[in-house]
Amino acid sequence: MELPRRARGDELLKSGELTRLRERLRKIAPNHDLATVIANAFDHRTRILPFIFADTRMAPAGVRAVGSALVDAGFDKTRIVLQQWNRNFRPSQMRLDGKVPDMFMVSSMSLHSEECMKLIGDAHRIDPAHRPLIIAGGPHAVYEPYALFSVNRARPNSADIVVTGEEFVTLSLIEVLLSVRGRGESMRSAFVRARDSGALDDVPGLVYSRGDANGVPEELIDTGMQRLVGDLDELPHPVLGYRLLEPPSRHATLSAHALSADEVEDRSPISSLVLTFGCKFNCPYCPIPAYNQRQYRVKSGERIAEEMWRLNKEYGIEHFFGADDNFFNDKTRTLDIVNKLACAEFEGVRLSDRACWYTEVTVHDTLQMKEHLPLIHQSGCRALWLGVEDVTATLVKKGQSADKTTEAFRALRDAGICPMPMMMHHDTQPLYSHGSNYGLLNQVELLRRAGAVSMQILMLTPAVGSKMLESSYASGQVFKSVGGKLVPPHICDGNYVVASSHKRPWQKQLTILAGYLYFYNPVWLIVAIIRQRTPVFRTPAYVQIIGMMGLVMTIARTSTWAVRLMFGKIERRTHPPVSQIPMRGIDGGAASHDTSAAPVQIQSPLLRRPAPPREIVVR
Ligand code: B12
Ligand code: SF4
C-alpha cells in the first residue's frame, strides 16, 4: 500500500510556516536546558556492493537534519551518534554534560531496524525515573511506525513516540511538549501529559501509544499524514548538524566533545545534501512519489550554492551527493539551479573550483537535458546515477530503450560526467539472451560499451510503501524463511533474493553476482587504465578498484544465501507486515499508516512475462 495523500491542496505547509515555528522555538529555548542524543541505526552486515564505502563515508543527512533543526531552534546540547562509526554505543550509558539526556532520538532505514530496536531496548535499561523521552524517526518510521512499538510483555521496549514526517513535525512535537512542560519536569512526563490531554493530536505526522502501566502498548494513535515543506529554502542550514557528530570510537559511552570541524572532512568526505524531493514518474515498485504526496519540492540555486560554500569553508568538504529522487525532474527548475551553481562565486573564488556534486536522475530526463550537459558539468557535476532498471523497458517503461540509454550515456561521458547505471534484475530476465538485449549480461555489456563507470544490480524486491507490495505477498513471492531461517530485515535491500517466483531462486542470486563479476574485474581495470584519455579521466579505473574490493565482500555474504536458497526449504508469506497493535486515527477512524486493510489491486511486475510492457505515464 502506498502512503496516503492529504486532501488536494493541503499537502504543503503554508509558505513561511516552518520559518515561523523555528522563530517561536528560539524564543522559548533559553527556558529549557534540553539535552538530546540522536542515534543513527546501522547494521554492519549490510556492508556490500553497491553502497559499500558510501555508507560509512557519508554522515547521513537525516540525523544531521534533525540535529541542525534542534541547534537552529536554540537547543545546542545535542549529539549525533552514528552506529557506522560507534558500533559499541549503548544508550543506557550515554551522558551529555554529565547527565542523562532529556530526549533519545533514533533514526533508521528498514534494513537497519534490528539495530534500531536494540538501541531502543538498551535505552529502556535506564531507570524509569531518569529515562529520556524516546523518539523514533527516519524512513523505517515513515513507512512502518507500528514496528517501533513492542508487543512483547517480557521486553516492552517501545519508542514513546514515532515521527512519520520531517523537520516541521519534529519541531512541532517539541513545541507542544515544551508548552506543557513544568519547571524541572522531565520530557517524558511532559509527553505523557500532552498525550493524555490530546495536545499531540493537532500535529499531523505522529504515532504514539496508549497502554498499561508496564508500557506495553494497547493501541496506537496515528495523527495522520504530515504536511510537507514546499520551499526547501525554509529548512535549517545543514552546516549546523556537522558540529554535533560523535567522534568514531569503540566505547559504549559518549566522548566529552563532538568531532572537531577539521576532522569532519576526513571522516565524512562526502556530504549528502537535500536539493530537491520528488519524482514525476510512478514506478510500481517505488514508494517515493507517494511519500512526497506527488509534490516536487526544490531548494533555490542560491541557497544550494551557499550551503556548499559554507560546508566547504567550515569543514573542507568538496564532494556533495544530492538526496534527490530525480534531480532532472523539472527542466526549468534544474536549469535555474545549475546556472546559479555554475556562476556562483564567494570571496573571489568560483564555487565549482571547490565543490563537485553527484546525484540521481533518469535516462528520459537526461536526454531532455542533453544540450545543457556541458553547463551541468561546469556547475560541478561529475557523476550521475541513472535508474535504468531494465534497458529493454520490459520491467518498467519510463522512457528508456537501448538506443536512448546509449545516447544518454555517451552524451554524459562527452560532457565529462560519469554515467552510473542502476539496474534491476527480475524473475523473467535470463543471465544471457541470444540475439537480444534482454539478458542481464547483454545489458551490462551494452551499458559498459555506452560508457558506464560503475554498476548497480539489485533484485526487484517489494518495498514497503510501494504499489506492488500487497500483490507480491498475495501471490506468494515473498519468502518467510529459507532452510528454517527467517528472512531478517538486513538482507531486504535488493542484494539478496528474498522474493521470487522463479523455480530456482538461487540462480537469480548467482546471476546478480555474475553481472557484477562481468563488470568489475581485472580485465576492465586494465582497459580503464589504458584508456585514461577520456573526458572522465581516471575515474573508471578508481571505480573498478573499489568495485572489485566491494565484490569480494558481496560474494562472501550473498553466496552463502545462494547455497541456502539451493538446498533449503522456502516458506512464503501471503500478507505484508501489519501492525500487531490496533491502530486508529485521532477521530477513531482508520489510521493513515495502518496497512492491515490494504486492498490487493496491482498486478506485480515480478509476475509479468516479458511482453507486453506496462507503460508508466510521464506527467
Ligand atoms: C542518499 C541515499 C542513500 C545513500 C545513503 C548515504 C548516507 N550515509 O547518507 C546510499 C546510496 C548509501 C543509500 C543506500 C541505500 N538506500 Co538509500 N536513500 C538515499 C536517499 C536518496 C536520500 C537520503 C537522504 O539523505 N535524505 C534526506 C534526509 C534529510 O531525509 P531523511 O533521511 O528521510 O530524514 C528526514 C525524516 O525522515 C526525519 N528523520 C530522519 N531521522 C529521524 C530521526 C528522528 C528521531 C526524527 C524525529 C525524525 C527523523 O527528519 C529528516 C529531515 O526531514 C533516500 C530517498 C530520499 N529522497 O530520502 C534513499 C532511501 C533512504 N534509501 C533507501 C534504501 C532502501 C536504500 C538501500 C537499501 C538500497 C536500495 N535498495 O535502494 C541502501 C542501504 C545501504 C545501507 N547499508 O544502509 C530507502 C529506505 C526505505 C526504508 N523503508 O528504509 C529510501 C527512503 C529510498 C526509498 N526507496 O524510498 N541510500
Ligand atoms: S523514476 Fe525512480 S524515483 Fe521516480 S518513481 Fe521511478 S524508481 Fe521512483
C-alpha cell at 267: 571522516
Question: Kind and range of the H or E element at 263?
Answer: helix 261-267
- Confidence tier at 614 by pLDDT (50, 70, 90): very low
Residue ID of nearest Cα to ligand 2 atom 8: 286
Q: Is the CB of 286 under 6 A from ligand 2?
A: yes
**Ramachandran class of 191: left when φ > 0, alpha when ψ lies in -120 to 50, beta otherwise:** alpha
Ligand 2 site, residue 280, Cβ cutoff 6 A = no
Q: Nearest ligand, CA of residue 489?
A: 1
The closest ligand to the CA of 365 turns out to be 2
pLDDT at 195: 96
Q: Is 390 in the pocket of ligand 2 (CB under 6 A)?
A: no
> In angstroms, what is the span from residue 585 Cα to ligand 1's centroid?
26
What pLDDT does residue 393 have?
78
Q: Is 490 touching ligand 2 by the criterion CB < 6 Å? A: no
CA 202, 203, 206, 212 torsion: positive or negative?
A: negative
Checking if the pLDDT of 618 tops 50, the result is: no
- Geometric angle at alpha carbon 598, from 326 and 152, rounded to 5°: 100
Residue 499: DSSP 8-state: B
pLDDT reported for residue 40: 98
Cα–Cα distance list, 198 to 155, 208, 227 (Å): 27, 11, 19
The pLDDT score that the predictor gives to residue 532 is 81
Closest by CA position to 614, among listed 389, 284, 275: 284
Counting from 1 in the atom list of ligand 1, the atom nearest the Cα of 493 is 68
Q: Which ligand is nearest to the CA of 104?
A: 1
Which is nearest to 5 in space by CA: 229, 225, 287? Answer: 225
Give backbone dihedrals phi and psi of 438, rounded to 5 degrees, phi first.
Answer: -75, -35
- Contact residues for 582 (Cβ-Cβ < 8 A; gap 6+): 218, 219, 220
286 vs 240: CA distance, rounded Å: 31
> Are the beta carbons of 582 and 574 closer than 8 angstroms?
no
Among all bound ligands, the one having the nearest atom to the CA of 65 is 1
pLDDT of residue 53: 80
**Strand-strand pairing, 349-350 and 345-346:** antiparallel
325 lines ligand 2 (CB under 6 A): yes
Q: Give me the residue label for grid cell 493541503.
A: 10
- Give the model confidence (pLDDT) of 571-583 as tens digits: 999 999 999 999 9
Distance 398 CA to ligand 2 centre (A): 9
| Euclidean distance between CA atoms 540 and 448, whole angstroms | 11
- Cell 511486475 sits at which residue? 605
Average pLDDT over residues 205-214: 85
pLDDT band at 432 (very low <50, low <70, confident <90, very high): very high
Question: How confident is residue 214, by pLDDT bands cut at 50, 70 and 90?
Answer: low
- Whether a cis peptide bond, with omega within 30° of 0, leads into 50 is yes
The label of the residue with cell 526549468 reads 332
Is pLDDT of 599 > 60? no
Looking at the CA of residue 616, tell me the nearest atom of ligand 2: 6
Residues contacting ligand 1 via CB (< 6 Å): 46, 51, 54-55, 58, 60-63, 65-66, 105-107, 109-111, 135-140, 142-143, 163, 166-167, 170, 272, 274, 277, 287-288, 323, 325, 458, 463-464, 493-494
Average pLDDT of the residues of the chain: 94
Cβ 467 under 6 angstroms from ligand 2: no
**Global confidence as pTM:** 0.96
Question: 218: how many CB neighbours lie within 10 A of its CB?
Answer: 11
Quick one: pLDDT at residue 600?
Answer: 43
Across the range 317-341, mean pLDDT stands at 98
C-alpha cell at 200: 499531540
Q: Mean pLDDT: which of 147-156, 211-220, 543-552 is highest?
A: 543-552
CB of 281 shorter than 6 A to ligand 2: yes
Pocket test for ligand 2, best of 279, 386, 468, 615 (most atoms within 8 A of CB): 279
User: Which range (14-23, 213-222, 286-295, 438-447) has the least confidence?
Assistant: 213-222
> Does residue 602 have a pLDDT over 50?
no
Q: With 90 as the cut, is the pLDDT of residue 42 above it?
A: yes
* pLDDT computed for residue 612 by the predictor: 31
Nearest alpha carbon, ligand 1 atom 56: 323
> Residue 442 — pLDDT band, cuts 50, 70, 90?
very high
* CA count, 13 A, side-chain hemisphere, 387: 24
Contact 391, 437 (CB under 8 A): yes
* Distance (Å) from CA 470 to ligand 2 centroid: 19
Q: Residue with the nearest Cα to atom 25 of ligand 1?
A: 61
Length of the chain: 619
pLDDT at residue number 513: 98
Mutate to test the pocket of ligand 2, among 398, 422, 461, 615 (most ligand atoms within 8 A of CB): 398
Q: What is the C-alpha separation between 455 and 444, in angstroms, rounded?
A: 8
Residue 609 pLDDT exceeds 50? no
pLDDT at 483 over 50: yes
Task: Identify which of 285, 286, 466 to mutate to test ligand 2's pocket (most ligand atoms within 8 A of the CB).
Answer: 286
Q: Looking up cell 538485449, which residue turns up? A: 437
Among residues 168, 296, 298, which one has the least CA distance to residue 223?
Answer: 168
- Compute the distance from residue 511 Cα to the ligand 2 centre, in Å: 24
Q: How far apart are CA 576 and CA 477, in angstroms?
A: 11
Q: Whose CA is nearest to atom 7 of ligand 1?
A: 60
Task: Dump pLDDT digits (tens) for 384-406.
Answer: 999 998 888 777 777 778 999 99
- Residue to probe by mutation, ligand 2, list 280, 283, 367, 368, most atoms within 8 Å of CB: 283
> At residue 553, does pLDDT exceed 70?
yes
Residue located nearest, by CA, to atom 14 of ligand 1:
51
Q: Rounded mean pLDDT of 113-122?
A: 97
Question: What one-character-per-residue DSSP string does 201-261 give?
Answer: GGSSSEEEEEE-TT--EEEEEE--PPPBPSBGGGSPPTTTGGGGBPPP-S-SS--SSPPPH
> In this structure, are residues 107 and 81 in contact, taking their beta carbons and an 8 Å threshold?
no
Mean pLDDT within 64-87: 98
Q: What is the DSSP letter of 6?
A: P
Backbone torsions φ then ψ of 78, nearest 5 degrees: -135, 140
Q: In the predicted model, what is the mean pLDDT of residues 97-123?
A: 97
Ligand 2 atom closest to residue 280's alpha carbon, by position in its atom list: 4
Distance from the CA of 108 to the center of ligand 1, in angstroms? 8
> What is the pLDDT, as a whole number, of residue 396?
75
The predicted model gives 485-499 an average pLDDT of 97
| Residue 152: pLDDT band with limits 50, 70, 90 | confident
Query: Cell numbers of 37, please?
Result: 542524543
Name the pLDDT band for 597 (thresholds 50, 70, 90): low
Question: Measured from the CB, is residue 386 less than 6 Å from ligand 2?
Answer: no
Query: Ligand 2 in contact with 465 (CB < 6 A)?
Result: no
The mean per-residue pLDDT over the stretch 72-94 comes to 98
Q: Which helix (H) or strand (E) holds 71?
A: helix 61-72
Q: What is the DSSP string of 418-440?
A: EEEEEEEE-TT--S--TTSS-SH
How many CB atoms are closer than 10 A to CB 436?
11
Q: Does the structure show a pLDDT above 60 at 497?
A: yes
Per-residue pLDDT of 238-276, as tens digits, reads: 999 999 999 999 999 999 999 999 999 999 999 999 999
pLDDT at 132 over 50: yes
Residue 7 CA to ligand 2 center (angstroms) comes to 23
pLDDT of 126 reads 96
Ligand with smallest separation from the Cα of 390 = 2
Q: Which atom of ligand 1 is nearest to the CA of 109?
A: 84
pLDDT score of 598: 53
How far apart CA 511 and CA 218 sit, in angstroms, is 46
Written as one letter, the residue type at 267 is R
- What's the pLDDT score for residue 595? 80
Give 79's strand partners: 37
| Average pLDDT for 291-296 | 98
| 135 closest CA partner among 76, 197, 86, 69 | 69
Joined together, the cell numbers standing for residue 485 give 531461517
Q: Where are the alpha helices (DSSP H) in 268-401?
A: 288-291, 301-315, 331-343, 363-368, 373-378
Task: Return the CA Rg of the chain.
Answer: 24
| Ligand with the closest atom to the CA of 274 | 1
